[in-house]
Homo-oligomer: A and B are copies of this chain.
């Protein structure tokens, strides 16, 4: 029962970006098909999702044109891989900060020609997208700003740098004052680099405006997340995740408006008792590593089994939007301190110790009225994989039904995962 959907083709645009157009066009068709199957087959979707459907249709075309238009005006376009890179600074310089491709099995073989096989699929996928010239974002950015949040990324940037200029922000590994001092200096370096491309100095006014835009965006995502916590859920977990994924590509002011419009609709649905999907579906929260577009594997399986995902404790999820920047700081120095203070609240497993995350996972479980936690780790992600021990112990202590899944982007383990997920849901349902 395929629904019509097409990711729009822009062959001339892609050719102008030195992409492998024939190959990318095939990937486009496959992604469109997967999207129709995963998303458009859903029943009783909020009408506000139409905007996000269209965003996917234009993700490799319309949005790329916007990036190139910005570049033509001398505005910086910066590609990033991590929620620790402060978008506010790029916005303040009049630029665009975008996520890069990294959520698809299709580019993994390109990476494995060079990189080791036994590293994170997200890192391999991202690297492969650049190596294969099959990601318009990689082709359009002025430079990439990586970070040191894990061994695989940190060392891969050295090799990526031979294909696209790649700078690195050092994220410290603890959060004492000496670490925050180093971090602040890194944020200032990032600002300098962005200003170089922009050919302008960021003023306090610029930064204040950017902080407000990003705070508003994060508030809209917080609002959406709260609405997903309503029982029964007014929107599917798949749609929730999609919006969190699109957050890394879309223009923030427009995106915020559309998320808020969707939230208005969801509030109406709650009032009217309209729920998606079936009432009494088992409510599951996902915690762990980010699910980059178009990684919908777990959501597909969980919601395909009749349950609903009501929260993503993830970088593509609450870690991206749970914290706001204090808007009261005035001088540039104080503003950058306030900004860094907000970023340090993101509780990535790259930190040691990382007790805050354990507490946060349990808090989100309670807030979301979930009935169980699926802890998801990308394969070979050492930090989340080992932190899993502490999350599991906390769930045991709190008597929270718990399932740990380590997976990659391939379809090989889908059958096995389906069995495990169904057994987990049954156990909760008993």
Interface, chain A (partner B; CB < 8 A): 114-116, 118-119, 148, 150-152, 154-159, 168, 170, 172-174, 178-179, 181-182, 185, 349-350, 352-354, 379-380, 382-383, 385-390, 406
Contacts and interface: CB of A to CB of B under 8 A. Distances in A.
Contacts of A354: 158
Q: Which of A151, A168, A389 has the most CB of B within 10 A?
A: A151
A349 B380 contact: no
A76 to B, nearest CB: 23
A390 B352 contact: no
The copy count of this chain in the complex is 2
29 contacts: A115-B386, A116-B382, A116-B388, A116-B406, A118-B118, A118-B379, A118-B385, A119-B382, A119-B386, A151-B383, A152-B382, A152-B386, A155-B349, A155-B386, A155-B387, A156-B386, A158-B352, A158-B354, A158-B386, A159-B386, A159-B390, A168-B352, A170-B174, A170-B179, A178-B185, A179-B182, A181-B182, A380-B382, A382-B382
Q: Which of A115, A158, A379 has the most CB of B within 10 A?
A: A158
Contacts of A157: 352
A140 to B, nearest CB: 25
A387 B173 CA distance: 21
A383 B154 contact: yes
Given A150-B382, A151-B151, A170-B173, 7 more contacts: A114-B389, A115-B386, A116-B406, A148-B352, A151-B383, A155-B383, A170-B174
Given A152-B386, A386-B155, A386-B156, A170 B168 contact: no
A158 B353 contact: yes
B115 A154 contact: no
Contact of A155 (B154, B155, B181, B352): B352
